[in-house]
Amino acid sequence: MSNLAYKIDILVIGGGQAGLSAGYHLRRLGLVGGRGYLVLDKSPQPGGAWQFRWPSLTMKTVNRVHDLPGMGFAEVLDPGQTEVRAAEAVPAYFRAYEKRFHLPVYRPVTVQMVCGRGDRLRVETDHETFSARGIINGTGTWDAPQIPYYPGRELFQGRQIHTHDYHVPGEFAGQRVVIVGAGISALQILDEVSQVADTIWVTRRPPEFRDTDFTPEDGRAAVARVEERVRQGLIPGSVVSVTGIPRSPAINAMDARGVLNRQPMFSEITPIGIRWPDGREEAVDVIIWATGFRSALDHLAPLQLREENGGIVMTGRLATQVQRDPRVHLVGYGPSASTIGANRAGAAAAQELVDHLGLAPAEPQ
């Protein structure tokens, strides 16, 4: 591999909500796109992870997609068009956003490794190699699906998939399907699959349903709890585990159909099914692991940012700056792992990194 590296001040890794927000604010601070900063995106087109979501996920069923700074979602999609697929609507919005603000997004480029070289960071990709003074990482979680190990998992003769690879419920018609997980995605998949297949819903802990509306104050309190964890260097918990799940009409309908008959977690997987600690067994054809994702940060491993417990100590105004290496900001990690959180964190990370590096950009745009 050539030692030649293209020098740049700030690299933004990831072209989703977090990366676009950071890019917007870097531009507003006067950095010149392509030289002062560059956004690297591994996806073939705009849209971040949204372009890979299952077809039945519509704008009606997703959690709210908050507007990116400077341009509202309604400029691209009429709020009344709730049946439009999220995998189409959000990419269209991101594409229009990149064009409106002339964001320098380079794709498809996969960042393979980031390592420290003196006062600069060496960023190796499947194309060029870059030398950056600082990075804003916005790679999210979509590329890091998490499947817990249970004895016998490797011996199961049926099919196992993660939420990451779920497409349409019809492919499970007439089968017996176990759905593992208590998050929003697990419930959405359970709702769909239970209408065409025999389902068993399994979770480690009983899910917490909310009978009251989720208020802005509830959101701020949840984010604050996650922020407290990452400032201590603990692994961030999911926001849903803090907030609970609101009882939507869809969930009430599932309850009425008897679908929400939650079972405790099984202890092992047999070649033809699952087994609980008391010896009870069920034969199943498919296991769908709706067990969440971890932060996609493997490319940052050479920087040794993690503590012994696997967490990362975060600092800065909105907990985006890595304490071990202030040249690195993580947006979409911990408290900023939501569309609105990514927006606010993108602004904070851009300003703090520009200040830390002592950059002297042109007049703000």
Q: How many other CB atoms sit within 10 Å of the CB of residue 196?
A: 16
Do the beta carbons of residue 293 and residue 303 sit within 8 Å?
A: no
Do the beta carbons of residue 327 and residue 338 sit within 8 Å?
A: no
Fold agreement between 6-143+293-357 and 153-211+247-289: yes
* Average pLDDT per block of 10 residues along the chain, 365 residues long: 80 95 95 89 92 82 76 81 83 95 96 91 96 96 93 97 95 97 92 97 89 72 86 80 75 92 97 98 98 94 95 95 97 82 89 92 50
b/e per residue 278-298 (b: at least 16 CB within 10 A): eeeebebbbbbbbbbbebbbe
Do the beta carbons of residue 269 and residue 150 sit within 8 Å?
A: yes
SS3 (DSSP) at 83: coil
For domain 6-143+293-357, which CATH number applies: 3.30.2350.10, 3.30.70.1140, 3.50.50.60, 3.20.20.70?
Answer: 3.50.50.60
Question: Angle formed by the axes of helices 249-256 and 184-193, to 10°?
Answer: 50
| 276 Cβ contact list (under 8 Å, min separation 6) | 263, 264, 266, 267
Q: Whole-angstrom Cα distance, residue 327 to residue 34?
A: 19
Q: Specify the amino acid at residue 275.
A: R
Phi-psi map region of 118: left, alpha, beta (phi>0 left; psi -120 to 50 alpha) = left
Q: Whole-angstrom Cα distance, residue 129 to residue 232?
A: 33
**Cis previous bond, 169, omega within 30:** no
pLDDT given for residue 360 in this prediction: 66
| 172 Cβ contact list (under 8 Å, min separation 6) | 193, 196, 197, 285, 286
pTM, entire model: 0.88
Question: Angle formed by the axes of helices 17-28 and 339-357, to 10°?
Answer: 40
Give the CA distances from residue 188 to residues 20, 168, 346, in Å, rounded to whole numbers and listed in that order.
28, 12, 29
**Structural domain boundaries in the chain:** 6-143+293-357, 153-211+247-289
Q: Burial-class residue 272 by CB neighbours within 10 Å (0-12, 13-18, 19+).
A: middle
Rounded to the nearest angstrom, the gap between the alpha carbon of residue 283 and the centroid of all alpha carbons in its chain is 33
Q: Whole-angstrom Cα distance, residue 149 to residue 146?
A: 10
Q: How many other CB atoms sit within 10 Å of the CB of residue 3?
A: 6
Q: How many other CB atoms sit within 10 Å of the CB of residue 211?
A: 7
pLDDT given for residue 67 in this prediction: 87
In which residue are the tokens 């960042």 written?
111
Domain 153-211+247-289 falls under CATH 3.50.50.60: yes
Do the beta carbons of residue 3 and residue 331 sit within 8 Å?
A: no
SS3 (DSSP) at 19: helix
| 165 Cβ contact list (under 8 Å, min separation 6) | 145
